[in-house]
Structure 1
Amino acid sequence: MKLSDMLAGHDHEVLRGDTDVLVTAGTTFDVHRVTSGSLFIAVPGHREGGPESVAAAIARGAVAVLVESGASELPAPVRASGPGVCLVRVPDTRKAAAIASSHYYGEPGRRMDMVAITGTNGKTSVSYMVESVLRIAEGASVGVIGTAGSRIGDELIPMPPSVLTTPESPDLQYLLACMRDREVAGVVLEATSMALLTHRVDRAFIDVGVFTNLTQDHLDDHGTMANYRDAKLRLFQGLCRRAVVNADDPVGATIPAMMPGAVTTYALDAEADYRATDIFMDASGTRFTLRHGGRAYPASIPVPGRYSVANALATVAACHTLGHDLAGLVAALERMPPIPGRFERFETSDKTSVIVDYAHSPDSLRNVLTTIRGFATGRVVTVFGCGGDRDTTKRAEMGEIAGTHSDLCVLTSDNPRTEDPEAILDQITPGLTATGTPFARFADRRLAIAYALASAGPDDIVLVAGKGSEPHQIVGEELIPFSDMATVRELAGA
């Protein structure tokens, strides 16, 4: 495709060359992924590229380069490079990347039903639920993009390793094009606050944006809860056609005024378009009555917890908004398979129950522990930690929450990244100590899980929280293979 066509509708200034140049190898921020025919986008501060990598990108075969307004004078090797390379300056390389990538791949989002989910908790669960109910109710093929990677059904779409829940816009548009070419009926993606702030989901043509909730998290990225809120709300400021929002959440309750006539609400407590009443929970799941449009639908889900009911309401509301039959969607809920790493259960040979869950924020840890307490007959043993290079203000609070709702806690590492794992545990300890609950600490996560299993007996429940289905630990700059559930099974001899 001609570069001029890729940039159509976006302000740009040609610094050198001709925008009729053909881009034949896609777009990328990563200089190491540049090949002959690529468009290299020099995003300031990007770890794998940036303005300082322009010369290297050209040497690797880039036929065009985007740089950002305010960039310093191009270095001598760039000025001396071949005349066939087109250099273009744009006001914002991230905004331009979304437009250029979407055009390059033929605006694939327009060809499928697009659902984007944002919120502190519930994004992955709702994405899996949407996929499951559409597959079960209608046999639909649905693409999923999120924490666990990108896939169609059980087939992962190969991509370079990444810790991003929402891919950068060049990769997102590539994935959408792959899904379009495989003729999927729709795509459901997790839209993180940073993805929304950095324009990763611009030009994805979202049909339904879902807002689950807003609780403390990611203050390391946003600084304040107000900034975090505003980043989430970008989804509802022109990036989606319709919205499905949690009316029980104070931030969610503000969204209808932002999109008059285009918002559907769900709630457990507040008045809403979709409501759940008569909630009954046990260890096997939750039963409730879904109410919509003056009708009542008996419903059940194979996951315990009020928060799981809220996720089910979001799922049904989003799919019904897309035009799918409500009765069929509700009937499909009880047939959903387990969501990997979300209240994922296992029982050892001595009848100890183990639950692996992604809970890694104060609110999500409280939700999963209070749910477990609702049906536990024995002791609750909680293995948890806090991620490194992330919001430090939540660490003592999470210690207090774990101690309040557990009989024994085992502190351990949860993606320490570049921080000292022991220093992270030191910051969790004051909140835990204040509860008086006994605890042990092992920076080695495998040792921590082993200790918890050895400390538990029949009828006890071991919660391994924080990483869910993540297949790795992030230590320093490395992704080290590690699975909580695989470790539990191995240690239990399964």
Structure 2
Amino acid sequence: MKLNELLDGHDHLLLQGDPGTRITGGMSFDAHRLTPGSLYIAVPGHHEGGPESIERALRRGAVAVMIEGEVPGLRDLPHDLCVVRVPDTRRAAPVVASRYHGEPGRAMEMVAITGTNGKTSVSYMVESVLKAAEGARVGVIGTSGSRIGSEPIPMPPSVLSTPESPDLQYLLGHMRDRGTTSVVLEATSMALLTHRVDRAFLDVGVFTNLTQDHLDDHGTMENYTNAKLRLFQGLCRRAVVNADDPVSARIQALMPGAVTTYALDAEADYRATDLTVDAAGTRFTLHHDGGKYAAAIPVPGRFSVANALAAVAACHVLGHELGALVDALDRMPPVPGRFERYDTPRGASVVVDYAHSPDSLEKVLTTIRGYATARVITVFGCGGDRDVTKRVIMGKIAGELSDLCVLTSDNPRYEAPEAILDHVVPGLTATGTPFERITDRRRAIRFALGAAGPGDVVLVAGRGSEPDQLVGGELIPFSDMAVVRELAEE
């Protein structure tokens, strides 16, 4: 398409070149990923691009550049290069990317999930019930990558859980072209704040919960909340929200008449009662519109039931038959890294879970405590270069709900691993629970498995299904479950 067609109706100023320049090679914020015929979107401060990378973009074959503000060196660019200025490159990017790919979100059922915890689990549940109930072809975009069913869509390692808008629109176009009927995606707070899911034409936005996390990005809980609320300020047609969380009232005020609620405790459109939890899963009664449905999920815990209610409600709002959706719940496959279980040859049980915030760690440990018949041993740490204030809180939670803790590295990133552990120790010490401090995560898991006897439950928390550990900027292959299986078999 021509650049002026992609920008039609959006505020922009032509600085030089032909506004009818044809874009044939897509677009990107990352200069090194451009191909001949592409549009380079020079987002200030982007780690793989920005105005300082325009010359690199030209060497890669860019035929047009989109900028914001004043950019030094524009006079030195080739005069036939098309350069346009927009007020905000991040706001303009989803407009041009969506149009370039033919506005693919309009062609499929679109569900976006936001909240501190549960995004990945709810997305897997939406996919599972639609597939089991109707044989639907579902696309998933999130923490575990992008795929259609079991077919992964290869993307560069730099692509985020919620991809930047050019990547997201490419993925949606790819999914549409391969017959996908429904797409479910995770919408992180930073993705919403930076307009990545604008112009995705979302049918349903789901809100799970909001607890302390990501204060390193947002500074305050109010800023964090406001970032989440962007999903419900014109980005989706309907909302499905957790009425047990006070933030749900703010969403209902933003979208009067367009909100469906679910809850375990509060009055809601979809409710769950009579929960029975054991190591194999949870049984409950689902209530909706005067009807009762016997339901079961192969995952233990109240939080898992809340996630199931969110998934069923979202699919029902889309028009799918409720009875078939509920019947499909107990046929869900395990969600990788989300309460993923493994029984060791020595008779202990291992749970690998992504719990990396105070709320999620407390919920997982409370669930395990509810069915464990012997000791609970917790292997955990905290991520580097992230919210420091939650570390002592997580130490206290782990100590209060465990019989033995093994404190270890999570993803230190660029922070000193021992310094991270130092922040957690006061919380653990205050509980009086015995703990070992083993920085090397593999050795820590080995110690926990060696200490576990028949009937004990070992929780390996914090990383879930992540395939790599980031230490000092180096990506080291490390899968918690793979390491658990290997060490348990030794």
Same fold per TM (> 0.5)?
yes
Q: Which moved more, 1:477-486 or 1:337-346?
A: 477-486
Q: Following the alignment from structure 1 to structure 2, what is the Cα–Cα distance between the partners of residues 287 and 131?
A: 20
Query: Could you give the per-residue CA deviations for residues 368-414 of structure 1, whole angstroms, max 9, x where no partner exists?
Result: 00000000011111001111110000000000000000011111111
Q: Following the alignment from structure 2 to structure 1, what is the Cα–Cα distance between the partners of residues 35 and 452?
A: 54
Task: Specify which of 239, 242, 245 is matched with residue 238 of structure 2.
Answer: 242
Q: Following the alignment from structure 1 to structure 2, what is the Cα–Cα distance between the partners of residues 479 and 28?
A: 24
SS at match of 2:272: strand
Q: Following the alignment from structure 1 to structure 2, what is the Cα–Cα distance between the partners of residues 383 and 249?
A: 29
Residue 215 of structure 1: aligned partner: 211
Q: Following the alignment from structure 1 to structure 2, what is the Cα–Cα distance between the partners of residues 6 and 452?
A: 56
Query: Could you give the per-residue CA deviations for residues 12-71 of structure 1, whole angstroms, max 9, x where no partner exists?
Result: 1111111100111111000111121110111111110001111211122110001112x3
Contact 1:212 1:252 in 2 (8 A): no
1:6 corresponds to 2:6: yes
Letter of the 2:302 partner, please give it: R
- Per-residue deviation, 1:164: 2.0
Residue 411 of structure 1: aligned partner: 407
Residue 451 of structure 1: aligned partner: 447
Query: Could you give the per-residue CA deviations for residues 250-284 of structure 1, whole angstroms, max 9, x where no partner exists?
Result: 00122111101111000001110000011111111
Letter of the 2:120 partner, please give it: T
Query: Could you give the per-residue CA deviations for residues 399-444 of structure 1, whole angstroms, max 9, x where no partner exists?
Result: 0000000011111111111100000000000000000011111221
Letter of the 2:13 partner, please give it: E
Contact 1:245 1:253 in 2 (8 A): no
Residue 267 of structure 2: aligned partner: 271
1:304 corresponds to 2:319: no
**Number of equivalent positions:** 490
Question: Quick one: percent identity of the two aligned structures?
Answer: 74
Structure 1 residues 45-444: aligned runs within 5 Å: 45-69=45-69, 71-73=70-72, 75=73, 78-162=74-158, 164-444=160-440
Q: Following the alignment from structure 1 to structure 2, what is the Cα–Cα distance between the partners of residues 43 and 299?
A: 48
SS at match of 2:250: helix
Query: Could you give the per-residue CA deviations for residues 144-181 of structure 1, whole angstroms, max 9, x where no partner exists?
Result: 00000000111110000036210111110010011000
Q: Following the alignment from structure 1 to structure 2, what is the Cα–Cα distance between the partners of residues 147 and 61?
A: 31
- Per-residue deviation, 1:82: 2.7
Q: Which moved more, 1:60-69 or 1:210-219?
A: 60-69
Q: Following the alignment from structure 1 to structure 2, what is the Cα–Cα distance between the partners of residues 184 and 327?
A: 23
Letter of the 1:359 partner, please give it: A
Contact 2:16 2:80 in 1 (8 A): no
Residue 36 of structure 2: aligned partner: 36
SS at match of 1:94: helix
Q: Following the alignment from structure 2 to structure 1, what is the Cα–Cα distance between the partners of residues 89 and 474?
A: 28
Q: Following the alignment from structure 1 to structure 2, what is the Cα–Cα distance between the partners of residues 193 and 461?
A: 33
1:21 corresponds to 2:21: yes
TM-score (norm 2): 0.99
SS at match of 1:180: helix
Q: Which moved more, 1:441-450 or 1:235-244?
A: 441-450
Q: Following the alignment from structure 2 to structure 1, what is the Cα–Cα distance between the partners of residues 294 and 386?
A: 42
SS at match of 2:133: helix
Contact 1:246 1:253 in 2 (8 A): no
Query: Could you give the per-residue CA deviations for residues 59-95 of structure 1, whole angstroms, max 9, x where no partner exists?
Result: 22110001112x333x1xx533333310111100111
Letter of the 1:27 partner, please give it: M
For structure 1, the 5+ residue unaligned runs are: none
Change (3 A) 1:163 1:170: closer
Query: Could you give the per-residue CA deviations for residues 283-308 of structure 1, whole angstroms, max 9, x where no partner exists?
Result: 11101100000010000100010010
Letter of the 1:409 partner, please give it: C
TM-score (norm 1): 0.98
Contact 1:469 1:484 in 2 (8 A): yes
Residue 487 of structure 1: aligned partner: 483
Q: Following the alignment from structure 2 to structure 1, what is the Cα–Cα distance between the partners of residues 63 and 349?
A: 57
- Per-residue deviation, 1:243: 0.3
SS at match of 1:9: coil
Letter of the 1:72 partner, please give it: V
Letter of the 1:240 partner, please give it: C
Letter of the 1:30 partner, please give it: D
SS at match of 1:397: helix
Q: Following the alignment from structure 1 to structure 2, what is the Cα–Cα distance between the partners of residues 9 and 369?
A: 52
Contact 1:127 1:189 in 2 (8 A): yes
SS at match of 2:393: helix
Q: Following the alignment from structure 2 to structure 1, what is the Cα–Cα distance between the partners of residues 226 and 198?
A: 16
Letter of the 2:63 partner, please give it: V
SS at match of 1:63: strand
Letter of the 2:365 partner, please give it: L
SS at match of 2:489: coil
